Amino acid sequence: MSNTLKTQLAFSVIALLLIIIGLVQSWNVSLGILNLCLISAVMALGVNMQWGYAGLLNVGVMGFAALGGMSAVLVSQAPVAEAWQASWGRLLIAALCFAATIAASIICYRILAAGRNRNLALALVIIGGLALTRFFFDPAVTAIESIEPAKTGFLGGMGLPIIFSWGFGGIVAAGIAWCIGKVALGLRADYLAIATLGISEIILAVLKNEDWLTRGVKNVTGLSRPVPYEIDLQTTTWFIDFIRWWHSGALGVLNEAEQPPALKQFVIDGSSIFVKLCYTGLFAGVLVVILLLSVKALNSPWGRMMRAIRDNEIAAGAMGKDVTRRHLQIFIIGSAVIGVAGAMLTTLDGQFTPTSYQPLRFTFLIWVMVIVGGSGNNMGSVLGGFLIWLVWIEAEPIGVWLMAFGTGWLDESNVIRIHLIENAQHMRLFFMGLVLLLVLRFSPGGILPEVVRKQGS
Amino acid sequence: MEAITDFVSAIVLLLNFIVVPGLSYGSQLALGALGITLVFGILRFANFAHGDTMAFGTMMTILVTWWLQSKGINLGPLPTALLALPAGIAATILLLVVTDKTVYRYYRHSKAVPVTFMIASMGVMFMTNGIVRFVIGPNDQRFLDGERFIVSARNFKSMTGLSEGLSIKVSQGLTIVVAIVLVALLFWFLQKTRTGKAMRAYSDNEDLALLSGVDPDRVVLVTWIITAILATIAGTLYGLDKSFKPFTYLQLLLPMFAAAIVGGIGNPIGAIAGGYVIAFSEVMVTYAYKKVFVYLLPQSLEPQGLLQLLSTDYKFAVSFVILVLVLLVRPTGILRGKVL
């Protein structure tokens, strides 16, 4: 079966599944799943760039997604004026000290000859500089966090529309990826994996603890939205008229007295579907743009070079390609895409909760998407994102239903039956692992394998 | 006189909050890192499923412990879990051998690259994690019984008359003793027995070992068995010392990897050294030294802040920073592991 046909077939199946969910459960659920599918697909595209194009094993997806989430807070929240007033002087000095420390250590590294002396000097500069920075920084943090800790207690953000955070999230993730890449990209594949795993944990630790930045585990709730609120829609005339027109058939058969409550219910249901559709439109737009760019890039000479580096670093290096720089480049681009997806996710949630970032959900699940979908194939990653997210969400009710069905012969109050039904949701982890292993074993290219174009074809 | 008691108090404080926890946590990490390093040395991949293997072994041990407790069987002052350990180990051996037969063997025979093994181990990680959560649930489980303390803080204070207490939990003492015994046995096995020698030969140079008649399937089987023993014991000791929660075992993966790499991956002595390096730096960097200095310095110089370098939540950062430093300065690890 050709890949194009397979792609069309696979996406038709997904669409069918979403429609079935819409009909059986509700359109609200179906659209909710679709939105997260779109975000997952963007994340999977980012990982696919790093792994599929360049063979870089990034197990720190969670960290970059969290950075995107953080930028949603930093862009959309209103700045807290008192906090800035109370601390700006010290913050400025601390920032200058920090910059000076970095500059001094770079100078040390450059001018001193390698050896014990340089290591010692570097250690002294870094420790001294950090101590000095903290001398100014700690009081500033105390000042910031003491201002209305129950409501704010942080610096706030820029007060811009949250949609800008999607780009900003990408930039932040790219910046951090540059720092990480500079240090870690020289490592072997498995060391790189462990290093990125560590970095994602560190990013999370920072986001959980630096209350002045993101309120830490106190969470930031009530983020602004790029789309209208349901409650506003329900009182807007054009929306009510639209719903009346849409459901005119159903409303027509009702009598005068029944019409207003029925219409009200339709408006409430319709508003939440409308909001979800707005999100779907935005996310699909981002996905399409990134997907088009990825496809273009992969088919360009640049993409060919990336694949050449992935397949044989030494040969590519001998051809004059700068392997380290290309690795750094693709690492930054891929991380930026993950950052964008992370910002989109936080925008959809409307809140930033650092504790909700779990490696299984945000790192390893994305990996399952990429491997199952087809590493090296952009459409494959998108498909993987859709399919795995669908399975991940629907495995829970199906698992519970199966357990209830399978243990139907047991008594309602049977301890084993209750335990099985209560814990059925965890079986989806087992199932995900099984899917990953089966695909890896029997179809290592994934559902939509990479298309390798041969000379002349 | 007061100066001397103050000095002793400061020492006791450090013992209580740094040395004892560092030693027991370090032993737990060392046992975990040994498992990772063995798999790396013999099968040549970084095993992401190791944390969940530990969780699985601990879970089986806990289940058997609960059963024993319900029958009224216990070990007096020692935790009943010790009695349940063999059953837990047997179950974990079964798990690892089955995963090897169903998952890893295929890739070994088809000479797959290490990265493929690593991704396969992610799949195994998911499945094991799913099983553990399904059977025992995602919440905290307690299974410690018997005596709580070898030396409790109150007894220590009344015995010595110092104002600072030293407490050593049974689980901590047990961890250290078990770790020493286990490591001694492991080294005896690797150095003195035929199978152990075959394992070392295989790890050192696979082709040469095969030519010399080493049976690769046997070496791999023994490796998994040893890994299962180490993982179950490490997990159970950690669970006794802190508490059992599937998620924390996943998080232990990072410090254990760091320990294995810092010490020199593939090198068992390195894994032990790495375990203690990581554990002690985590404990030392996140400890608030204020009280120590209150004892040591005259009142006029009493420190203002907590004198804590980093908050406790940054302990992952510590293991990671050490990892990066070692990788940059000395990529083979402190004790010259191998870079395959």
B118 in contact with chain A, both atoms CB, cutoff 8 A: yes
Is B338 among the domain residues?
Answer: no
Is A188 strand, coil or helix? coil
User: How sure is the predictor about A180, in pLDDT bands with cuts at 50, 70 and 90?
Assistant: confident
Q: Give the separation between CA B33 and CA A105, rounded to whole angstroms.
A: 33
Is A237 among the domain residues?
Answer: no
User: How sure is the predictor about A31, in pLDDT bands with cuts at 50, 70 and 90?
Assistant: very high
User: How sure is the predictor about A164, in pLDDT bands with cuts at 50, 70 and 90?
Assistant: very high
pLDDT of residue A455: 57
Interface subset of B 55-94, CB within 8 angstroms of A: none
Closest residue in chain B to residue A57, using alpha carbons only: B115
Domain limits for position B302: 2-329
Residue percentage of chain B with pLDDT more than 90: 46
pLDDT of residue A454: 63
Is A417 among the domain residues?
Answer: yes
- φ/ψ (deg, to 5) at B288: -90, 115
A46 to chain B nearest CA, in Å?
Answer: 18
Least-confidence region, from A14-18, A41-45, B55-59, B150-154: B150-154
Beta carbons of A437 and B123 less than 8 Å apart: yes
Residue A190 is nearest to which of B118, B134, B319, comparing CB atoms? B118
Is A201 among the domain residues?
Answer: yes
Domain with residue A187: its CATH number is: 1.10.3470
Residue percentage of chain B with pLDDT more than 70: 96
pLDDT at B279 > cutoff 80? yes
- Tell me the mean pLDDT in the region B115-143: 91
CB A267 within 8 A of CB A239: yes
Beta carbons of A195 and B327 less than 8 Å apart: yes
Let me know whether A343 and A418 are in one domain.
yes
A315 to chain B nearest CA, in Å?
Answer: 18
Let me know whether A134 and A184 are in one domain.
no
Is B136 strand, coil or helix? helix
CA distances from A448 to A40, A53, A330, A440 (A): 17, 15, 22, 13
User: How sure is the predictor about B1, in pLDDT bands with cuts at 50, 70 and 90?
Assistant: low
pLDDT of residue B154: 81
Mean of the per-residue pLDDT values of chain B: 87
Taken in order B202, B205, B207, B211, the sign of the CA dihedral is negative
Q: Give the separation between CA A322 and CA A320, rounded to whole angstroms.
A: 6
Let me know whether A433 and A392 are in one domain.
yes
pLDDT of residue B163: 77
Q: Which residues on chain B are in Cβ contact (under 8 Å) with A201? A: 251, 254, 316-317, 320
Residue of B282, B327, B338, B340 to mutate, interface with A, max A Cβ within 10 Å: B327
Domain limits for position A97: 80-153
Least-confidence region, from A4-13, A272-281, B136-145: B136-145
Residue A426 is nearest to which of B115, B124, B134, comparing CB atoms? B134
- Tell me the mean pLDDT in the region B217-242: 94
Rounded to a whole number of angstroms, the CA Rg of chain A reads 26
Let me know whether A88 and A182 are in one domain.
no
Is B96 among the domain residues?
Answer: yes
Task: Name the residue with tokens 């700045």.
Answer: A79
Q: Give the separation between CA A185 and CA A189, rounded to whole angstroms.
A: 9
End residue of a domain, out of A120, A153, A186 = A153
Is B98 among the domain residues?
Answer: yes
As for how many domains chain B has, the answer is 1
- φ/ψ (deg, to 5) at A223: -65, 150
Question: DSSP string of A285-326?
Answer: HHHHHHHHHHHHHHHSHHHHHHHHHHH-HHHHHHTT--HHHH
Is A345 among the domain residues?
Answer: yes
Let me know whether A319 and A273 are in one domain.
yes
Domain with residue B66: its CATH number is: 1.10.3470
- Tell me the mean pLDDT in the region A5-32: 91
- Tell me the mean pLDDT in the region A296-315: 90
pLDDT of residue B175: 93
> Between these two residues, A358 and B336, which has the higher pLDDT value?
A358
pLDDT at A114 > cutoff 80? no
Is B293 among the domain residues?
Answer: yes
Q: Give the separation between CA B109 and CA A100, rounded to whole angstroms.
A: 55
Residue of B63, B103, B119, B330 to mutate, interface with A, max A Cβ within 10 Å: B119
Let me know whether A287 and A365 are in one domain.
yes
Let me know whether A372 and A382 are in one domain.
yes
Is B334 among the domain residues?
Answer: no
> What would the two tokens of residue B95 be?
């798990």
- Tell me the mean pLDDT in the region A321-332: 92
Q: Which residues on chain B are in Cβ contact (under 8 Å) with A371? A: 119
End residue of a domain, out of A130, A153, A176 = A153
CB A37 within 8 A of CB A389: yes
End residue of a domain, out of A153, A180, A213 = A153
Closest residue in chain B to residue A184, using alpha carbons only: B324
B112 in contact with chain A, both atoms CB, cutoff 8 A: no
Q: Which residues on chain A are in Cβ contact (under 8 Å) with B258? A: 194, 198
Is A75 among the domain residues?
Answer: yes
Least-confidence region, from A443-457, B71-85, B142-156: A443-457
Let me know whether A100 and A62 are in one domain.
no
User: How sure is the predictor about A143, in pLDDT bands with cuts at 50, 70 and 90?
Assistant: confident
B22-60 tens-digit pLDDT: 999 999 999 999 999 999 989 889 999 999 999 999 999
Interface subset of B 237-266, CB within 8 angstroms of A: 247, 250-251, 253-254, 257-258, 261
Q: Which residues on chain B are in Cβ contact (under 8 Å) with A184? A: 324
Q: Give the separation between CA B249 and CA A187, rounded to whole angstroms.
A: 26
As for how many domains chain A has, the answer is 2
Let me know whether A288 and A372 are in one domain.
yes
Task: From A173, A220, A196, select the one nearest A350 (Cα to Cα).
Answer: A220
Q: Give the separation between CA B230 and CA B259, rounded to whole angstroms.
A: 15
Q: Give the separation between CA B88 and CA B5, rounded to whole angstroms.
A: 47
B38 in contact with chain A, both atoms CB, cutoff 8 A: no
> Between these two residues, A159 and A284, which has the higher pLDDT value?
A284
Is B112 among the domain residues?
Answer: yes
Let me know whether A18 and A88 are in one domain.
no
pLDDT of residue A339: 96
Residue B130 is nearest to which of A197, A368, A430, comparing CB atoms? A430
Beta carbons of A367 and B119 less than 8 Å apart: yes
Is A103 among the domain residues?
Answer: yes
pLDDT of residue A1: 58
Q: Give the separation between CA A426 and CA A428, rounded to whole angstroms.
A: 5
Is A252 among the domain residues?
Answer: no
> Between these two residues, B236 and B246, which has the higher pLDDT value?
B236
User: How sure is the predictor about B339, in pLDDT bands with cuts at 50, 70 and 90?
Assistant: very low
User: How sure is the predictor about B127, in pLDDT bands with cuts at 50, 70 and 90?
Assistant: very high
B310-319 tens-digit pLDDT: 777 787 778 8
pLDDT of residue B205: 87
Q: Give the separation between CA B76 and CA A433, rounded to whole angstroms.
A: 41
pLDDT of residue A257: 80
A402-434 tens-digit pLDDT: 888 877 777 777 778 888 887 888 888 898 999
- Tell me the mean pLDDT in the region A192-217: 85
pLDDT at B166 > cutoff 80? yes
A239-263 tens-digit pLDDT: 888 888 888 888 888 877 888 888 8
Residue percentage of chain A with pLDDT more than 70: 99
Q: Give the separation between CA A154 and CA A86, rounded to whole angstroms.
A: 11
Let me know whether A160 and A145 are in one domain.
no
Q: Which residues on chain A are in Cβ contact (under 8 Å) with B282? A: none
pLDDT of residue A345: 95
Beta carbons of B103 and A437 less than 8 Å apart: yes
- φ/ψ (deg, to 5) at B149: -125, 145
User: How sure is the predictor about A18, in pLDDT bands with cuts at 50, 70 and 90?
Assistant: very high
Residue percentage of chain A with pLDDT more than 90: 36
Is A255 among the domain residues?
Answer: no
Is B339 among the domain residues?
Answer: no
Q: Which residues on chain A are in Cβ contact (under 8 Å) with B106? A: 441
- Tell me the mean pLDDT in the region A96-108: 89
Q: Give the separation between CA A223 and CA A349, rounded to whole angstroms.
A: 9
Let me know whether A42 and A126 are in one domain.
no
Residue B134 is nearest to which of A360, A430, A441, comparing CB atoms? A430
- Tell me the mean pLDDT in the region A84-93: 84
B77 to chain A nearest CA, in Å?
Answer: 32
